[in-house]
Each structure stands twice: as structure tokens, then as C-alpha cells.
Amino acid sequence: MNKLSLSIIFFLLFVIIFGAYKFIYQGNVVTADDGRTAIVLTGTEKDLILEEMRGFLSAAQQIVQAVSNGEIDKIIIAAKKVGKAAQAEVPVSLVGKLPMAFKKLGFDTHVKFDELAMDAQDMEDKEQSLKLLGQLMQNCVACHAAYRLDLEKTN
């Protein structure tokens, strides 16, 4: 093998590894004026994520209300609605644009709603449900502090 083909191989390897890093780990991001990491998306992609968010908010509201009314069954229904099973089908193109840490935090939030539902089912302890909600909502706070969604520029 001559030097030229070797350097071509190394160059291509670099391109592949860099591409994989960009796609799997970093996502399509820029630093926004407010210091947060802006994930740059199309309008449709942004809408998909925001819809999931409104589902989260609605679940949190329903759980708080169900706790105050002492309705364990409603706590379970509301939490399951935003559990793993309900997680929106995310197109591969969008998966590549989301940073790894963002995906982990999002996934963990769905998992924690499932855990809340299971706990309510097993323990029937509404105070415990409220406590778990408070804990899982630290994910909401952490993610919103770190990320925002910006639109791709369409020239």
C-alpha cells in the first residue's frame, strides 16, 4: 500500500468518526445569545418536541390535581400517558440533531413517569407520588435551563 492510499484511508476514517460524533453525540447545536445550547431544527421537528412537552405539563397538572383530590387511579392514568410507551416516534433525522445529553434527559423523564405510575399502583400513597413528581420535575428545570429550540434558517 502506498502512502497516498494510506492517507486517503486515514482521511476517510476521520470523516466517518467525526460524522458519527456529530450525529450520535453532539447534535445540531449552536450557542444561543442567552447562553443556552440551541438545538437547530425544522418547524415540524420543533412542533413534535413542543407537543411532547405540552403532554408533560398536562400530566404534571393532572397528577397534582389527582393528589389533592386523593384519586390514586387518576395519578396512575396521567403518569402512564407520558411514560415510555407514549414516547413520540422520533424520526432518525431528528435523533441525529439532538445532543446525547438531551436524549438521555428526555428518556429518563419518560422512565420516571412510569416509575411514578408503578409506585402509585403498588403503594397507593399520594404523598409519595407528589414527592416523586417533585423529583422528576428537576429534569424539566435542568433541561430548560440548558437547552432551547431554534429554527433552521430557510434562505
Contact residues toward ligand HEC (CB under 6 A) are: 50, 53-54, 56-57, 60, 102, 105-106, 109, 137, 139-140, 143-144, 147-149
CB of 154 to ligand HEC, least distance (A): 18
CB of 115 to ligand HEC, least distance (A): 13
What burial letters (b/e) apply to 107-132, b meaning 16+ CB within 10 Å?
eebbebbbebbebbeeeeebeebbeb
CB of 37 to ligand HEC, least distance (A): 9
**Of the two residues 1 and 141, which places its CB atom closer to ligand HEC in the complex?**
141
**Of the two residues 7 and 65, which places its CB atom closer to ligand HEC in the complex?**
65
Cell 429554527 locates to 151
State the Cα–Cα distance between residues 82 and 59, nearest whole angstrom.
7
State the Cα–Cα distance between residues 42 and 63, nearest whole angstrom.
32
